[in-house]
């Protein structure tokens, strides 16, 4: 007897609101949410119900929502980019979190925390942050706030080859490029630190430039960057870059 494979889904996939039923849902960068999606979110909050995609039944949900935004929602509301009714629903309690440059002392706890996180993820053993590194971290303006710090620490840990956070990968004293774009000057790559380029984009550009200069040879590129083939392959895969093997 010929077996016929069923094409029916094995189970329904629950959305975030449904998964958070009875708990708390954190919505990051809510200011970037599409205006049409804002309407749906508002309805779910007010009615305490949701309807699955393609579904016909209303499902009851009891969710506490915490939302965050790095944009001024008052301005967005005034400009029509954010629904005023949703804004007032979400702003029952408001908490202003100062920028990292206004609370530099938090670096003392945040930097070691991120080092430990990426040690665990990448199998590294960075244990010491040099005094000069601390000085540069504290002098930086942090236009990208905590996310920028996290990305910098991630890069340093992944490209480390001993237990000391590598100074050369902090790149906090790099010369800003004209027009907010990376520039290659001989063997020196200048990266903008004015907030015009995200940390992941910087990392991707550094690795892609090194690959190009080494004819996409992973071994030669890893040697030039002072890291291992395994670490470089991890980054290449993360950024979907091409190599020659």
Comparison of pLDDT for 70 and 45, the residue scoring more: 45
Comparison of pLDDT for 105 and 183, the residue scoring more: 105
Give the CA distances from residue 174 to residues 170, 182, 202, 239, in Å, rounded to whole numbers and listed in that order. 9, 10, 12, 22
- Asked if residue 5 has pLDDT above 60, the reply is no
Tokens coding 85: 């009714």
**Which pLDDT belongs to residue 3?**
46
How far apart CA 95 and CA 196 sit, in angstroms, is: 27
- Asked if residue 8 has pLDDT above 60, the reply is no
CA gyration radius, the chain: 23
| Helix H or strand E segment including 24 | strand 24-27
- Average pLDDT score, the chain: 83
Contact (CB, 8 A) for 99 and 144: no
Q: In the 8-state DSSP scheme, what is residue 178?
A: G
- Give 114-127 as a DSSP string: HHHHHHHHHT----
- Asked if residue 179 has pLDDT above 50, the reply is no
Of 94-98, 106-110, 161-165, give the lowest mean pLDDT range.
Answer: 94-98
Residue range 186-229, pLDDT digits in tens: 666 666 665 556 777 778 888 888 888 888 888 888 888 888 88
pTM of the model: 0.54
Closest CA to 157 of 211, 43, 235, 87: 235
Output the CA angle 57-62-63, nearest 5 degrees: 120
Comparison of pLDDT for 30 and 7, the residue scoring more: 30
Strand partners, 171: none
- Asked if residue 110 has pLDDT above 90, the reply is yes
Please compute the mean of the pLDDT values over residues 78-82 and round it to a whole number: 90
How far apart CA 26 and CA 12 sit, in angstroms, is: 22
Q: Hey, what domains does the chain have and what are their CATH numbers?
A: 16-90 (3.40.50.300), 100-238 (1.10.8.60)
Tokens coding 204: 């991707």
Please compute the mean of the pLDDT values over residues 18-41 and round it to a whole number: 89
- Asked if residue 113 has pLDDT above 80, the reply is yes
**Which pLDDT belongs to residue 205?**
83
**Which pLDDT belongs to residue 177?**
43
Q: In the 8-state DSSP scheme, what is residue 176?
A: P
């Amino acid at each position: 007897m010929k077996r016929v494979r069923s094409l029916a889904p094995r189970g329904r996939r629950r959305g975030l609101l449904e998964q958070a039923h009875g708990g708390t849902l954190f919505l990051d960068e809510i200011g970037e949410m599409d205006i049409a999606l804002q309407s749906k979110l508002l309805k779910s909050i007010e009615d305490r119900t949701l309807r699955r995609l393609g579904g016909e039944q209303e499902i009851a949900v009891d969710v506490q929502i915490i939302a965050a935004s790095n944009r001024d929602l008052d301005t967005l509301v005034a400009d029509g980019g954010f629904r005023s009714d949703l804004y007032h629903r979400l702003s029952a309690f408001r908490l202003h979190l100062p920028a990292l440059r206004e609370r530099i002392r938090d670096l003392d706890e945040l930097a070691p925390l991120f080092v430990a996180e990426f040690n665990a993820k990448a199998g590294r053993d960075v244990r010491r942050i040099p005094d000069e590194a601390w000085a540069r971290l504290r002098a930086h303006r942090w236009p990208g706030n905590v996310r920028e710090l996290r990305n910098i620490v991630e890069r340093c840990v992944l490209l480390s080859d001993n237990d000391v956070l590598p100074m050369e990968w902090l790149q906090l004293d790099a010369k800003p490029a004209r027009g907010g774009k990376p520039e290659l000057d001989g063997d020196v790559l200048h990266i903008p630190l004015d907030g015009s380029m995200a940390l992941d984009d910087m990392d991707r550009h550094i690795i892609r430039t090194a690959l190009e200069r080494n004819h996409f040879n992973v071994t030669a590129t890893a040697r030039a960057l002072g890291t291992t083939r395994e670490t470089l392959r991890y980054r290449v895969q993360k950024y979907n870059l091409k190599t020659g093997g």
